[in-house]
Amino acid sequence: METNSVLLFNQLNYQLPKGVKAPIIIAWKLRTPGNFGYLLRIADTVGCLKVIFVTDSIQMAHRKIRKTAGDSYDRMEFEFTTEKELLNLIPQEYQLVALETSEGSENIYQTILPRNMALVVGNEKSGVDIEFIEQCNKIIHIPLTGKCTSLNVSHATAIALFEWLRQNLA
């Protein structure tokens, strides 16, 4: 028996409650073009408003981003910006939530995520700059019980977005 996810999800018609806005992803100084594409794809599956890539250099390998994003490259709104301009791109009703393993972070499964969330995810090697984390409304982490204590940025983003979705679906 074949499955048809398009038909299924059209029939189920999941929707966010009134007053809940789709999340924004803020990708902080990523280095790997594939991760840019994967973030566009996960943003598209959750129905994010947009993805903002904070970067010092806008010289990106769009071909590789397009390849990993698939059809989401053309469907998902995204833009590149600098650290200096970032806060001007976030609507006032959104709260900044850093996904980072840092002091003061909360277990994602034991906290209520903001209804209107701009999720900040960090660089593959160094995470999010501490100066920016300090500007966030909340810091969350994903509990890990194995010997490996890190996740790929796209996997961590997926976990956080689907937890947000679980908390907010009508």
- Mean pLDDT by 10-residue block, N- to C-terminus, for the chain (170 residues)? 71 83 96 91 95 80 82 91 94 97 94 97 91 96 92 96 92
User: Residue 125's pLDDT is what?
Assistant: 86
**b/e 125-162 (16+ beta carbons within 10 angstroms → b):** eebbeeebbeebebbbbbeeeeeeeeeebbebbbbbbe
User: Residue 12's pLDDT is what?
Assistant: 76
Q: Is residue 65 part of a domain?
A: yes
Q: Is residue 71 part of a domain?
A: yes
User: Residue 59's pLDDT is what?
Assistant: 63
Q: Say which DSSP state 36 is in.
A: H
Q: Is residue 63 part of a domain?
A: yes
Q: Is residue 13 part of a domain?
A: no
Q: Is residue 4 part of a domain?
A: no
Q: Is residue 69 part of a domain?
A: yes
Identity of the residue numbered 13: N
Give the domain range for residue 122.
18-168
Q: Is residue 80 part of a domain?
A: yes
User: Integer distance in angstroms from the first to the last C-alpha of the chain?
Assistant: 30
**Spatial separation of the C-alpha atoms in residues 100 and 110, rounded to whole Å:** 15
Into how many domains does the chain fold? 1
Query: The domain that contains 34 carries what CATH number?
Result: 3.40.1280.10
Express the helix, strand and coil content of the chain in percent, nearest 5 each: 35, 20, 45
| CA-based torsion, 128, 130, 136, 139: positive or negative | positive
Q: Is residue 115 part of a domain?
A: yes
**Spatial separation of the C-alpha atoms in residues 59 and 47, rounded to whole Å:** 27
